[in-house]
A and B are shown apart, each in its own frame.
Chain A
């Protein structure tokens, strides 16, 4: 039996995004840059505003009703994240500033614990700098080596040699779920199973995955899974590290201070159990509550309906763009999320970015914090359009005609 999804009411959704009625250079904005940062819908903005107006204080402190209320809202947001990721317990949900901080936490705490001199850290060829640099820093400190899972010209990981790449010295595997440049959805579950078969834990960078597809960390059997609030219709400054409880319990704290301790004396300090021991200092409370509201928002729309809509836009845009003279799509994986990178003969991506901006079309031009991916495809940069649930076919048409104008100008 097949069930047909009720399509999203895009026009109603768009009314939740005041920014979409802005005008740039006399043209209505076409926001195709959700992979850089998703826009926040009004219910999220209003929830955060309500907190700041009427509930603002600190959490896990004091006996006041106000403080208890803020703590409850803050912890409810953690429970929402737990549900969203399918984690077993809120003790497995650590608040961070974003994906980058989450990955640094894993490298600095877990990585330092398990990686020793001569060991290997395995990463994929399509990692964002956030899942490269923390491991390079660790490798340098420990005298370990970074190895890379290669990819093909379509932008798919080549997994034939994976079992040979994972050696007895491999202590951790870092893997991006969805590539921020290529849009590739990696077969994370399969890779995790193969890594686990050799006893290697896997750290997944989910920043670009969670906005587009339903993630179940227990189904994936991920050891760690990181994402950012602001790519998921939430605010900046808040992110999540999911970690299996056994790992989090074994790991040492990485930043010290208030909140993360149980007791402090000059002789000895004891720490909170996970996740508290990883959360030193006052957290971004409004942002955490805002992220909770964002999860409510996207779950009410339905991740399956979001995925269906975005997939349709991606297919439409890919067909339209591919037909343009001299345009080459970078990233042609079979399994793709709604991220569309391209280059055009004779037009540098930065010129393309500026010219599209002149048409009100907001895209990203650059190396997307993934310089090894640029090197792999022998290009300095790409122009990237990324589609969210509030985008429309008409907006794709505006993108196409803006690219056409640029091609005409540079002829």
Chain B
């Protein structure tokens, strides 16, 4: 069992304190709200997608440090990427925090996001880390809401 403390690395704490791309895009091309009903985490994600690229992405809402840092780092990671690649990242991220994909070899798109790999040892927190990505997936699919339970 991992010490939960190991998850709270400086990068995560820093992004929690100063989230990047925080706010709301108006107008936007894609929008979804994410909820984690058990924790009360809420996330509002807006994107501008043009020519198949995620040109702009912002989020706002409230949640735990894992959720907020995950959202902040996600916006940085997907900005400027093709939609298909952002979707593939979402898949890899989900697989990694569920312990289904090995970050050493199976998540080539994630880059520094592998710092969330420790979440797999804290099953109760997986949904916190995944919420932003589930919301991104919903927004790109044109769904209004995403929920992780």
Contact of A410 among B13, B41, B122, B128 (CB under 8 A): B13
Measured CB to CB, the nearest residue on chain A to B65 is A351
Contact partner, B5, options A346, A358, A374, A380, Cβ 8 Å: A358
Give min CB distance, B147 to chain A, whole Å.
Answer: 16
Interface centre among A349, A355, A371, A374 (most CB of B within 10 A): A355
Residues of chain B with a CB closer than 8 A to A355's CB: 4-5, 8
Counting CB contacts under 8 A, is B104 at the interface?
A: no
Asked if B125 CB lies within 8 Å of chain A CBs, one says yes
CB-nearest residue of chain A relative to B12?
A351
Task: Determine the distance from Cα of A61 to Cα of B65 in the docked complex, in whole angstroms.
Answer: 56
B40 touches A374 (CB 8 A): yes
Known: A355-B4, A366-B38. A380 touches B125 (CB 8 A): no
Distance in angstroms between the alpha carbons of A346 and B19 in the assembled complex:
13
Q: Is B62 an interface residue (CB 8 A)?
A: yes
B-contact bits for A280-323, CB 8 A (1 contact / 0 none): 00000000000000000000000000000000000000000000
Q: A348-B64, A350-B64, A410-B13 are in contact. Are A380 and B40 (CB under 8 A)?
A: yes
Q: Verify if B26 is at the interface (C-beta below 8 Å from A).
A: no
Contact-residue size bin, chain A (C-beta under 8 Å from the other chain):
20 to 34
- The CA-CA distance from A203 to B118 in the complex, in Å, is 46
Closest to B125 in A: A354
Minimum Cβ distance to chain A for residue B116 (Å): 14
Give the CA-CA distance A26 to B3 in the complex, in Å: 9
Complex formed: what's the CA distance from A374 to B38 in Å? 13
Q: Which residues of B are found within 8 Å of A367, using beta-carbon distances?
A: 40
Judge if A197 is at the interface, Cβ distance under 8 Å: no
Contact between B4 and A348, CB atoms less than 8 A apart: no
B65 contacts A358, C-beta separation under 8 Å:
no
Chain B 18-43 near chain A by CB (<8 Å), digits 1 or 0: 00000000000000000000111100
> A-B pairs with CB below 8 Å: how many?
52
Report how far A284 CA is from B62 CA in the complex, Å: 43
Smallest CB gap from A356: residue in B: B4
| Contact A354 B7, beta carbon cutoff 8 Å | yes
* Contact residue among B4, B62, B63, B64 (Cβ-Cβ distance under 8 Å from A358): B4
CA distance A346 to B39 in the complex (A): 16
What is the bound-complex CA distance between A374 and B40, given in angstroms? 10
- Tell me the smallest distance from the CB of A283 to a CB of chain B, in Å: 31
Q: With a 10 A CB-CB cut-off, give which of B3, B13, B122, B125 has the most chain A CB atoms.
A: B3
Q: Which of B4, B39, B66, B128 contacts A366 (CB 8 A)?
A: B39
Contact B1 A25 (CB under 8 A): yes
Which residues on B sit within 8 Å (CB–CB) of A354?
A: 4, 7, 122, 124-125
The reply on A381 being an interface residue by CB < 8 A is yes
Interface residues of B in 38-83 (CB under 8 A from A): 38-41, 62-67
User: In the assembly, what is the distance between CA of A351 and CA of B17, in Å?
Assistant: 13
* A residues 15-70 touching B (CB-CB < 8 Å): 24-26
Instruction: Scan A342-363; emit 1 where CB is below 8 A from any B CB, else 0.
Output: 0000111111001101100000
Q: Please state if B5 and A351 are interface contacts (CB–CB under 8 Å).
A: no
Choose one: A351, A374, A410; the contact of B66 (CB below 8 Å): A351
Option from A24, A351, A371 in Cβ contact (under 8 Å) with B8: A351
Q: Does A357 lie within 8 Å of B13, measured CB to CB?
A: no
Across the interface, name the chain B residue whose C-beta is closest to A358. B4
Q: Pick from A348, A349, A358: contact of B3, CB below 8 A.
A: A358
Query: In the complex, how many angstroms separate the beta carbon of B49 from the nearest chain A beta carbon?
Result: 30
Tell me, in angstroms, the Cα distance from A366 to B65 when the chains sit together.
14
Is A246 located at the chain interface by the 8 A CB criterion? no
Assembled-state Cα–Cα distance A367/B128 (Å): 15
Task: Tell me whether A380 and B8 are in contact (CB under 8 A).
Answer: no
A residues contacting B by CB (< 8 A) are 24-26, 346-351, 354-355, 357-358, 366-367, 371, 374, 380-381, 409-410
Known: A348-B64, A358-B4. 8 other contacts (CB 8 A): A24-B1, A348-B67, A350-B128, A351-B64, A355-B5, A357-B4, A409-B13, A410-B13
Query: What are 20 contact pairs spanning A and B, CB under 8 A?
Result: A24-B1, A25-B1, A347-B65, A348-B65, A350-B64, A350-B66, A350-B125, A350-B128, A354-B4, A354-B7, A354-B122, A355-B8, A366-B38, A380-B39, A380-B40, A381-B40, A409-B5, A409-B13, A410-B13, A410-B65
